[in-house]
């Protein structure tokens, strides 16, 4: 693996490319490498400053004419579920999430491919191979876990694991002040379960149990309908020019 200096991280800027969220816009990113013994500390600082992690890279938008991407984090200590969220939690009460080390499996990749083919066929990850997936999971220098969701079995209360087919997966970073949801995917045939919402609710509960005040959801893109789900989890904070500000949107 290529080694990079960790004492004074270097930042780089990507070339403009079409924005995947807003038609007619172009995106640029600033990024640096997360490697070495200081990677966990650096990941904490950068995430709190609006960066996201992908493998051993931390990046954030640096678009020249657009500021639609806003970093979002949920305040776990104050969070309360809406009526619809309570229904989703009840609908998925037969699932249990097992927290595992970041080790890829063929079962995970099969689910990952089904999810991409059904939900993101034209996305930037649509051509990811099994090796690409393995790198996404394994290439980390911070405290990262995989959470596998399966149906609850008779021994789940002892083992902490479910049984049967793999239904959903979350790749999650543990930070000093919260959990950061790096990527999640699920069986697209179970659309009625609202598994994306369920996994966020589960992470809020996990963060609360660990005494962590935040769950980081990445970027809400103002003007992109498919990203609006992120502002349903309130209260939350958005990162602005003056730092993190409380934001409570009006929910229709």
Q: What is the tens place of the pLDDT at every residue in 69-94?
A: 999 999 999 999 999 999 999 999 99
Kindly tell me if the per-residue pLDDT of 6 is higher than 60.
no
Kindly tell me if the per-residue pLDDT of 62 is higher than 80.
yes
216-246 burial string, b = 16+ CB within 10 Å, else e? bbbbbbbebeebeebbebbebbbbeeeebee
**What pLDDT is attached to residue 125?**
75
Please report, rounded to a whole number, the percentage of residues in the chain having pLDDT higher than 70.
Answer: 93
At 167, list the tokens: 């239904």
* Residue 222 · residue 68 · CB < 8 Å: yes
Q: In order of start, what are the domains of the chain with their CATH numbers?
A: 12-69 (no CATH), 73-247 (3.40.630.30)
**What pLDDT is attached to residue 217?**
97
**What pLDDT is attached to residue 5?**
47
Kindly tell me if the per-residue pLDDT of 33 is higher than 60.
yes
- Distance (Å) of CA 13 to CA 10, 69, 226: 10, 17, 26
């Amino acid at each position: 693996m290529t080694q990079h200096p960790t004492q004074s991280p270097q930042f780089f800027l990507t070339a403009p490319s079409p924005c995947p969220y807003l038609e007619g816009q172009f995106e640029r990113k600033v990024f640096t490498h997360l490697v070495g013994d200081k990677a966990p500390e650096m990941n904490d600082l950068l995430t709190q400053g609006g960066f996201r992690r992908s493998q051993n890279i931390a990046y954030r938008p640096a678009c020249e004419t657009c500021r639609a991407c806003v970093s979002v984090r949920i305040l776990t200590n104050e969070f309360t579920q809406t009526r619809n969220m309570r229904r989703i939690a009840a609908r998925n009460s037969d699932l249990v999430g097992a927290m595992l080390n970041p080790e890829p499996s063929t079962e995970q990749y099969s689910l990952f491919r089904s999810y991409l083919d059904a939900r993101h066929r034209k996305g930037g990850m649509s051509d990811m191979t099994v090796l690409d997936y393995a790198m996404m999971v394994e290439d980390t220098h911070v405290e990262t876990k995989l959470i596998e969701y399966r149906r609850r079995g008779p021994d789940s209360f002892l083992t902490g694991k479910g049984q049967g087919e793999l239904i959903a997966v979350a790749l999650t970073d543990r930070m000093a002040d919260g959990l950061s949801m790096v990527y999640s995917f699920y069986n697209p045939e179970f659309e009625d379960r609202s598994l994306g919402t369920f996994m966020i609710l589960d992470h809020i509960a996990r963060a609360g149990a660990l005494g962590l005040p935040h769950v980081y959801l990445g970027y809400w893109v103002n003007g992109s309908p498919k990203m609006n789900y992120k502002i349903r989890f309130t209260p939350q904070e958005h990162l602005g020019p003056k730092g993190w500000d409380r934001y409570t949107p009006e929910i229709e």
